[in-house]
Chain A
Amino acid sequence: MILALLALAAPAAPDPAAVPVALSPLAQQFWAEGLRLEGEGRPGEAAVRFRAVRTADPAFGAATLALARVLAAQGATGEALGVLRERPYDPDAAQAAAELLERRREWSDAADTWRTVVALRPEWPGARVRRASALGRTDPPAAAQELATYLGFSGIDPVGDGLAPVVLSVAEALRSTARREEAAALVEQVLAVDPDEAGLLGDVLVRIEVDLAAEELARAGDLPLLPTQRATLEAARAAAARGTDDEARRLLEVLVIEAPGSAEAWEALSHVREGQGDAAGAEAATRAAMQLDPRAPEHPARLGDLLVRWFSGQFDGEAVAAYARALRRSPDDPELWWRRAEAERRAGRWGAAVRSAERVLALDPEGTHAADARRWVAGAGLRREPLPELPTAAGRPPALSEDAWRAYTRALAWRDREDVPWARDEALSELAYVRGAAPAWTPALLLEAAILAERGDDALASRRWEEARALDPTDPEPIARLAAAKERAGEGEVAARLWEEAADAGHPGALLRRAQAQAAAFRWLAARDTVDEVVRRAATPETLAEARSLRDSLDARTRVAAVGALALVLPIAAVPLAARWRRRSGESLDALVARSPGAWRDLARLVSAVQHEVVKHHFGLVGPVADALDDRDPGPARFAAERWFGPEGAVPRLAAYVAEIEALAARSGVRVNLRWRDPRFGPLLAAVERLRALEPALRSGSGRALAEELRALALPLGSAAHTALGELVDALCVTVLRPDVLGEAHARAAAEFPGRPVPAPVIAVPPGRVAVRMFRSELQDVLVNLVRNALEATPADGDATVALQVAVEEDPITFAERVVVAVADHAPGSLTTADLRGRHLSRGLGLAVDWVARAGGTIAVEPRPGYAKAVVVRIPRVEVT
């Protein structure tokens, strides 16, 4: 046997060409003779030759292996091992030693030696199978772990590595030591990777599973609850539904002491413990339920959920086993298969995950997870493309020394390490060296300045930018950086001059600022040219994206203006045509809301921002500036001019918001024209145009006429705009909860159950106007989903009456009111608030939860007198519109 095994490592026949030329001629002669004698079955004589070779050249490893071979062939395995151990870092020697130890049945030493082979031959995952084979004799769980590691490798060769027999022996060892679940998990894992072994290992798996089931059934004893105990369980469930988890837990903890054999009680306790964040307690309770009632699939399924949800991936492998167990009882449940697939993927068992995904598709090809499952299955066949050939970087500038270049690249690398607190200091230290070696090399100066600015040292950074600017006056980068620094320092005029200079020099960011200012000043054609220049020069994707967005907005506005200009040029003959063009050149926001209801949320946000940030914060100054001008005080006018027309001022902000609204509309296929077609924005934008024309006068702060003009603008820029925009936000967001709104939602849901009589709903709305800030169609959809859920949960012969009750609550801190809408039903079942927070909701209920959350509201399950439960939605109330 030993000879047969060792022969695997020996050459088939002495090959003179294999004689290493580094050996002395005499050693070469011994080596050739040794091989020949070994081949002739004369190991004793061969050993003499190989010893001579080793003496002549101790570094010639092949002689050691050969000597060990022939010693083992003579039965001197101990001596052979001693020879092999003289070369502890030689993987061939280690492997030969491990094999010898196995033959000597020294399993523990063999396993240790195989670990050395694993370390020395990382490219050969099969060494782990060999180690597992040895470990299986002394430590089967460790062997299973080693095999799991092996199965995690990609590109393994289970047949070539002899996996199946090793798995059989390890599984059997686990089984015999009462570790049947681990044995089953191991076999399942192997079958997932290598389904070809299903014949042999599948039988083993079935036997282990039957053993397990029998054991569990022998231990099981789910006992029914006594009437008083059931009342306690129901009381606990009601307490949990009310959200009083502490009370529910107290009742259940006592119940499981009184009725420790009730799986139902343990499972209820598990839910309450989880609701309180006690994941370990929940998991223990579910395992108790599983032991008491091993045939129910919901317990292992929930165990899997708990392990996945709470234990940070520590026990994903066990979660897979739990789902597998649930699936044995419930093999046609696609949802369970999907959860198993997800756990397998997280556990690194991607092949198994793909097979589970295939089951999902087979069972429910149009289901919730079908799209993801299809992607997983398709992805399993994907092969990665090789990296395309890329141009190499230009590298070191010829004028820079190699040391300076390396210091510069080290500085770049340090700068990227934002996680290291001292990285900037290191980078600056490297750059100090570069500056000493190449003081005129501007990239290093710019990098140093940028790092100094990041560190908040604008003064020193500015010095570096000044130096860079002096070295290369044509480079716009240092000018733009200086401009930004001056802006941060509050030196607005200097900053503005530098920005202009940077724009003239072609800096994309500075040009973009110039384009935005031109757009804000309604110089659209000039802005368009500048934007084109930005696009040509843009160095960063962000600048490019911003420039393109501005260009789209400008194009839309220019088209509108062109239509207007045409109407002026052809005042008589083409008046009807021009008027038609003009009508078609844009629409009001009403058209956007009508055609794209889903845009309401973004639109409301933008209109609200204009109302708050532009009108409220900035245009309240119009009156006081006029008053100051009357008093011949130009200061407030100059202050206001900066607040209105400066880079962050009201007018550029308004232009940006208008562009965002136009872009939002364009994405919905609507071309809005806020200036000419929208009754809320039109007067504001017209007033801004007039205000813009006053900018030079404001900056100089001259003239009583200016004061009068400003007073004429106070209303359209101020309270009139504020009111109009506020009304627009309300119109977009506010829904009044009238009985007919509730009744309509109920009717829509009831219509989905055509063959079933659904009684009229019980609707209660308090007197007065109860309104919420939520788009009507979304509120309707929330209610429809809740009513549908109630009807679905009610048995065909149950009472399908649903109540929709509205009330108002008050926040104790903000005194804001909340509208409470309760959808109460008589449906049995155990929907809880925790379920609503969980991930496994029906699609409709999930959407309802999302919509309510986005409206700033909450949703919970609560008890309701006269009903089984109520799903209660709370949304901020709007008092007056």
Chain B
Amino acid sequence: MKRILVIEDGSEYTDTFGRFLGDRFVFTRAGSGGAALAALRVAPFDAVFLDLRFDRTPEAELVGDLAALAEERFGGDRFAARRHLVEEQGLYVLALLRREGIGVPVLIGHDFGREPRRLERLRAAMGPLDAISGVLEPRDVAARLAALTAAAG
């Protein structure tokens, strides 16, 4: 069975996928970028399911230099920088994985339906990846994961 690392701040996706897709995939959860990196270094995974927003992750575990981000991008506003880091944390995690040379296929659980150009640029820069939008139906997730892992080889 294919092994999937689910990177999310809660456990809703892992629980649901495990319940409905447990006969086709083995799901493992990582609650932060650091945990994901550690998991991917010690065990082979066929794909990653990546949430985008990490509300519940402690600040110290967020990937990204909050102080630098606040200074360079948010006019010194640490609160706004933290909000950005939380809302886009999945992509910071993805950038971290790619920087560390981890090229595992990634399925992002985020609605890029309104940002098609952004998704294309992400694919070009940090692929292989796909995104699944709207209401997450397990069978759609399974189909996307299967397609991603098959394409990866």
Contacts and interface: CB of A to CB of B under 8 A. Distances in A.
B128 interface: no
Interface stretch (B26-34, B35-43, B77-85): B77-85
Given A815-B122, A853-B77, A858-B74, A722 B116 contact: no
Interface of A is mostly: helix
A24 interface: no
B122 A624 contact: no
Contacts of B74: 853, 858
B138 A880 contact: no
B135 A722 contact: yes
A813 B81 CA distance: 14
A564 interface: no
Given A623-B139, A816-B115, A880-B115, A722 B134 contact: yes
Contact of B134 (A719, A813, A815): A719
Contacts of A730: 114
A879 B112 CA distance: 10
A856 B69 CA distance: 13
B118 A815 contact: yes
Given A856-B84, A858-B75, A621 B16 contact: yes
A624 B137 contact: yes
Interface residues of B, number: 35
Interface in A383-412: none
Interface in A633-652: 636, 639, 643
A814 B53 CA distance: 12
B142 to A, nearest CB: 10
B80 A833 contact: no
B78 to A, nearest CB: 11
Nearest to B80: A853
B116 A879 contact: yes
B20 A621 contact: yes
B12 interface: yes
B91 A813 contact: yes
Contact of B114 (A624, A643, A849, A878): A878
Contacts of B73: 858
Interface string B33-77: 000000000000000000000000000000010000000011111
A620 B80 CA distance: 32
Contacts of B16: 621, 643
Contact of B20 (A617, A624, A879): A624
Nearest to B141: A620
B131 interface: no
A498 B102 CA distance: 48
A814 to B, nearest CB: 4
B116 A636 contact: no
A34 B91 CA distance: 95
B88 A814 contact: yes
Contacts of B122: 815
B146 interface: no
A624 B75 contact: no
B136 interface: yes
Nearest to A243: B72
A858 B114 CA distance: 23
Contacts of A816: 88, 115, 118
Interface in A716-734: 718-719, 722-723, 726, 730
A843 B14 CA distance: 49
Contacts of A879: 114-118
A617 B16 CA distance: 9
A881 B114 contact: yes
A810 B121 contact: yes
A814 B91 CA distance: 6
B118 A719 contact: no
A624 B139 contact: yes
Given A816-B118, A878-B114, A879-B118, A616 B136 contact: yes
A620 B138 contact: yes
Given A639-B19, A856-B83, A619 B116 contact: no
A860 interface: yes
A813 B137 CA distance: 28
A615 interface: yes
A616 B135 contact: yes
Interface in A851-879: 853, 856, 858-860, 878-879
B92 interface: yes
A706 interface: no
Interface string B106-127: 0000010111111001100100
A836 interface: yes
B139 A853 contact: no
Interface in A603-644: 615-617, 619-621, 623-624, 627, 636, 639, 643
A623 B115 CA distance: 27
Nearest to B125: A815
Contacts of A837: 75-76
A817 interface: yes
A730 B115 CA distance: 13
B77 to A, nearest CB: 5
B138 to A, nearest CB: 5
Nearest to A718: B135
A856 B114 contact: no
Nearest to A880: B114
A817 B73 CA distance: 13
Interface in A699-749: 718-719, 722-723, 726, 730
A859 B77 CA distance: 11
Contacts of A813: 64, 88, 91-92, 95
A265 to B, nearest CB: 26
Contacts of A718: 134-135, 137
Interface in B82-101: 83-84, 88, 91-92, 95
Contacts of B114: 726, 730, 878-881
A345 to B, nearest CB: 26
A856 B12 contact: no
Max count, chain A CB within 10 A of own CB: residue among B20, B73, B95, B138: B20
14 contacts: A617-B136, A621-B16, A624-B20, A636-B20, A718-B134, A815-B118, A816-B88, A816-B115, A837-B76, A856-B83, A878-B115, A879-B114, A879-B115, A880-B113
Given A616-B134, A636-B20, A639-B19, 9 more contacts: A615-B135, A617-B136, A621-B138, A624-B138, A816-B115, A853-B77, A860-B75, A878-B115, A880-B116
Interface of B: 12, 16, 19-20, 64, 73-77, 79-80, 83-84, 88, 91-92, 95, 111, 113-118, 121-122, 125, 134-140
Interface of A: 615-617, 619-621, 623-624, 627, 636, 639, 643, 718-719, 722-723, 726, 730, 810, 813-817, 833, 836-837, 849, 853, 856, 858-860, 878-881
Task: Please name the 6 residue pairs, one residue from A and one from B, whose CB atoms are nearest each other, closest first.
Answer: A620-B137, A620-B135, A815-B121, A718-B135, A814-B91, A879-B115
